[in-house]
């Protein structure tokens, strides 16, 4: 799948993209049109909803804090008949700056998410493993950090090569200027966006390379982390059946 084909052409979300078409170590391919990652969805337009209805969107996972979600609401999606899970990776308020390693140590911060957001990430992965959730999208605010960590866990569980996981993470770099401008226009964020440290919205491969390498070194991989965090083996075993094409 070409990079340009990954992104849905939506007016209210700039980073809504398909996680299908990625090769795995054992020669399989992640299924297209089933699992998506995105930036925040509260500004979707009526036209955007029509796109998602035609796609058959059935599930949404919101990784933001309750305070973030309350500031913006869910927008038009709140009235749609979709399965919704709110799974805050971070402890309340402070958003992405609440405790833990700083954004100057972003790779370590991502690993910290596995501790502070353990229950939320397991809940999200369990929804990803449920066939009734599909097509499914998960998102945070920019679709970069919390969303990037969940995407990396899912892709690693499916056996996608680490260099491909990093490449997927870096696709957000092509959307960051648009996302920053949208947040600046948003009444809930406004001029505060200009006060955010540059490192928070910067995109570099190093943090995700560090994350996937350390998950393997410390836990044996995302699957082993998820089992240790409380996810059932049954749920983990269902993910490849839902999200991988059959090997030829």
The full set of domains in the chain, from first to last, is: 3-231 (3.90.190.10)
Q: What is the DSSP letter of 23?
A: B
Sequence-distant (6+) residues with CB within 8 A of 216 are 162
Determine the pLDDT at residue 188.
72
**What confidence tier does 207 reach under pLDDT thresholds 50, 70, 90?**
very high
d(CA 52, CA 233): 31
d(CA 206, CA 91): 25
Determine the pLDDT at residue 247.
55
- Tally Cβ neighbours within 10 Å of residue 95: 17
Sequence-distant (6+) residues with CB within 8 A of 237 are none
Length of the chain: 248
Residue 47 has pLDDT above 50, yes or no: yes
Nearest to 140 by CA among 42, 208, 18, 222: 42
Q: Can you give the pTM of this predicted structure?
A: 0.93
- Angle 146-158/106-116 helices, nearest 10 degrees? 80
- Angle 118-128/233-243 helices, nearest 10 degrees? 50
The upper half-sphere exposure of residue 191, i.e. CA atoms within 13 Å in the direction of its Cβ, equals 0
Lookup: tokens for 57: 């969107």
Residue 95 has pLDDT above 50, yes or no: no
Which is higher by pLDDT, 188 or 83? 83
**What confidence tier does 114 reach under pLDDT thresholds 50, 70, 90?**
very high
**What confidence tier does 185 reach under pLDDT thresholds 50, 70, 90?**
confident
Nearest to 44 by CA among 79, 71, 81, 88: 79
d(CA 44, CA 22): 27
d(CA 200, CA 176): 11
């Amino acid at each position: 799948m070409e990079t340009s084909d990954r992104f849905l052409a939506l007016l209210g979300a700039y980073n809504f993209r398909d996680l299908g078409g990625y090769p795995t170590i054992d020669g399989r391919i992640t299924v297209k049109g089933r699992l998506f990652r995105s930036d925040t969805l509260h500004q979707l337009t009526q036209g955007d909803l029509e796109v998602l209805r035609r796609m058959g969107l059935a599930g949404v996972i919101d990784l933001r804090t309750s305070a973030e979600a309350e500031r913006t609401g869910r927008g038009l999606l709140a009235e749609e008949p979709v399965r919704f899970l709110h799974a805050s990776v971070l402890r309340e308020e402070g958003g992405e700056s609440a405790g833990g390693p700083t954004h100057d140590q972003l790779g370590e911060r991502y690993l910290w998410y596995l501790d502070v957001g353990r229950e939320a990430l397991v809940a999200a992965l369990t929804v990803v493993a449920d066939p009734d959730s599909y097509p499914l999208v998960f998102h945070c605010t920019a679709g970069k950090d919390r969303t990037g960590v969940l995407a990396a866990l899912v892709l690693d569980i499916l056996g996608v090569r680490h260099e491909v996981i990093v490449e997927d993470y870096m696709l957000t770099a092509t959307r960051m200027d648009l996302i920053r401008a949208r947040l600046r226009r948003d009444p809930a964020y406004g001029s505060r966006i200009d006060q955010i440290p540059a490192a928070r919205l910067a995109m570099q491969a190093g943090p995700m390379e560090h994350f996937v390498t350390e998950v393997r070194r410390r836990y044996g991989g995302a699957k082993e982390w998820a089992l240790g965090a409380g996810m059932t083996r049954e749920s983990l075993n269902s993910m490849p059946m839902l999200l991988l094409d059959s090997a030829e």
